[in-house]
Structure 1
């Protein structure tokens, strides 16, 4: 019955990945920053409007680069949600920074922008909003707070490729943005990411940090006659084979988004009756947000046993999962970070959330099976 199983995720292939990888292989350039990398950079810069896009070997690496660019020092504080992946915090903790966790909004599950200002102390250096499910945080408010307090903003837009806030690409609004191309994302390269640099003055330094702290990129542009060690850095580049794979995906990013949106909208319509009955709550998308259908999640009604629902779906050969364990309740969060204020909604919403299968090629018939199984589990 394995053929009837509906996986949670199925990595999408456009059909050109192997062709482009073979082209890179034939060109005898396999290290980073080859022709395919340059195409990806140009696409990201054109699509987002950022000053400089730089491919990295992961979104984690992009966030770590942002922490280096901000010159985070031991004791510096970074305000962020607790309901996020560990990389959001780890990138700063590696530099000695202290994550300061604030609660999320009840509706979008994004960091509650109304709680940020009260969490600012003399040690605060940055704000790290996370665009959960590819739905934008309230960036106008966040940027206004940052400007008034002299803070930097690092957008964790790991899930936000092709999403927008008031017409602006996620990742292009703060000082820096970070994308993920992990195989669970919409546009993929297996592993991979990108740093978006939105302050032109930081572009050259970002290149240096990415190239092990050297001005190697300038050397290959014939801007210097040799390259040397300039400052702290590391090897954040992906190889050219990864970039070739990614280029095949970026070429089809629009059609990928259209396919995923169709599935997202089908779920949203089909699950409306269960929301009306008070059995679950569907995602909330503010009018200012154009999302990318990264995921479809539901919040089970209070009192519903989540594991029982997941078990029922599994018995119907449907793979469904919950999401983050809030960082503030984890051993690492307790050790390296601190909480500001109540975590009421972080605790409540994270305990109720399940994610449904969503990938390119998911059929209406498969979605009907998911909805029917979920209905059976809840009624």
Structure 2
């Protein structure tokens, strides 16, 4: 039987909550389930405001709008990341300055940040790859020295932490994803923006509501609502919030299961490290959140052969990002700096199946298949 790379998890109460939302007569968002999710997440993360969005991409775009970027302003971000990290700021006219990955992690090499800051730099956008924290102490130190904004791309990082503080709460803004490939989902698509800077809360509500002060109107703070700023339609439907609420109620159990799968992979695939195959690096200042497990093969040929071998055994393993600095869209705009580690991970990283319902017998099949490929079983 085929083992997929990902399988969305259903708690069992999603349809009941969706039916409840339908019967409420409030489907367009900001209803009871939206408020319930936002309040729960605010308490869970310890932030003053959380806004649900239609996707993690929209959360990043909302963050970029809040920064008031002007054409030519520079944003530092990793090259080894999903396109949404970049497009959110490119849409505002920003010049993207890509940072290489580090030798021991696909996350960006924070030691390179200082040298890349110029008078036009406005923001740093760290990505917490695989739910493992980027070095936020280093990021924040550079940001404070130069007066820069920090927007965390925490799409993969719910329930991750940096020195005990939740990821997505260490900058002014943190963008999360509830896509079906993430630890919890809002029914296939969804996201949220965590806001730690109180001065941004009122405007964030306006931008999320198409540039109107509609949220303030419904709270009775203004007599009528009108168009007061730029913005877009970032508010998700109440059905998505209902689905997400079911998942959040079961978050502890979901995380416990996913972390256990990750730990088993890490323990049983240790023999590969003796061959020079890379396993995930988790620094002392953080912990993995069970989002994904990857190997770093020794070269592209080996990675291609491993994926093909696993496919022959009905196991779906896949690679990840292609470097954004050399992408068809951005290659001609890149400043020409070589980013060898980003290219290394693009060629060599392979992700193994990891989802909440992955059975122990299925995981054992995967582990044995990988060990046989490397002839260490």
Query: TM-score when scaled to structure 2?
Result: 0.97
Q: After superposition, what is the alpha-carbon deviation per residue over 1:199-244, rounded to whole angstroms, capped at 9, x for unaligned? A: 0011000000000001100001111111111110111000000000
2:323 to 322, 326, 334: 326
1:261 counterpart = 2:277: no
For 1:152, the equivalent position in structure 2 comes to: 149
Determine the structure 1 residue equivalent to 2:135.
138
Query: What residue is the counterpart of 1:101 in the other structure?
Result: 98
Displacement of 1:108 in angstroms is 2.3
Indicate the residue corresponding to 1:115 in structure 2: 112
Quote the Cα distance in structure 1 between the aligned partners of 2:48 and 2:140.
Answer: 18
- Partner of 1:305: helix, strand, or coil? helix
- Deviation by residue 1:344-375 (Cα, 9 ceiling, x = unmatched): 21111221100000001212211111112112
Structure 1 residue matching 2:331: 3-state secondary structure = helix
1:349 matched residue in structure 2: 345
Q: Assess if the C-alpha contact under 8 Å between 1:106 and 1:349 holds in 2.
A: no
What's 1:162 paired with? 159
- Of 268, 285, 291, the match for 1:288: 285
How far the C-alpha of 1:324 sits from its partner, in A, is: 0.2
Match of 2:269 among 268, 271, 280: 271
Counterpart CA distance in 1 for 2:324 and 2:265 is: 29
Shift of the 294–339 alpha-carbon distance from structure 1 to 2, 3 Å rule, reads: farther
Query: Structure 1, unaligned stretches of length 5 or more?
Result: none
Q: CA deviation at 1:342?
A: 3.3
Instruction: Measure, in 2, the Cα distance between the counterparts of 1:223 and 1:167.
Output: 37
Structure 1 equivalent of residue 10 of structure 2: 13
Distance 1:251 1:215 in 2: 31
Q: Could you say which residue in structure 2 is the equivalent of 1:202?
A: 200
2:168 to 171, 179, 188: 171
Separation in structure 1 between the aligned mates of residue 300 and residue 71 of structure 2, nearest angstrom: 42
CA RMSD of aligned residues (A): 1.1
Alignment correspondent of 1:192: 190
Tell me, in whole angstroms, the C-alpha distance in 2 between the residues paired with 1:49 and 1:144: 22
How many residues in Structure 1 have an aligned counterpart in Structure 2? 374
**Residue matched to 2:45:** 48
Runs of 4 or more above 6 Å deviation = none
After TM superposition, give the deviation of residue 303 of structure 1 in Å.
Answer: 6.6
- 1:129 corresponds to 2:126: yes
Q: After alignment, is 77-86 or 304-313 more displaced?
A: 304-313
2:300–2:347 CA contact under 8 A, matched in 1: no
Match of 1:240 in 2: 238
- 1:47 is paired with a residue whose SS is helix
Q: Secondary structure at the match of 1:153?
A: strand
CA distance in 2, matches of 1:212, 1:240: 17
Q: Distance in 2 between matches of 1:340 and 1:121?
A: 17
Q: Indicate conservation of the 8 Å contact 1:102/1:342, yes or no.
A: no
Change (3 A) 1:340 1:160: farther
Could you list the per-position Cα deviations for residues 2-52 of structure 1 after superposition, in whole angstroms to 9, with x for gaps in the alignment?
Answer: xx1101001000001001000001111001100000011111110111221
- Structure 2 equivalent of residue 376 of structure 1: 372
* TM-score in terms of structure 1 length: 0.97
- Counterpart secondary structure, 2:271: helix
Residues 299 and 347, structure 2, Cα contact 8 Å, conserved in 1: no
C-alpha distance in structure 1 between counterparts of 2:207 and 2:338, whole Å: 37
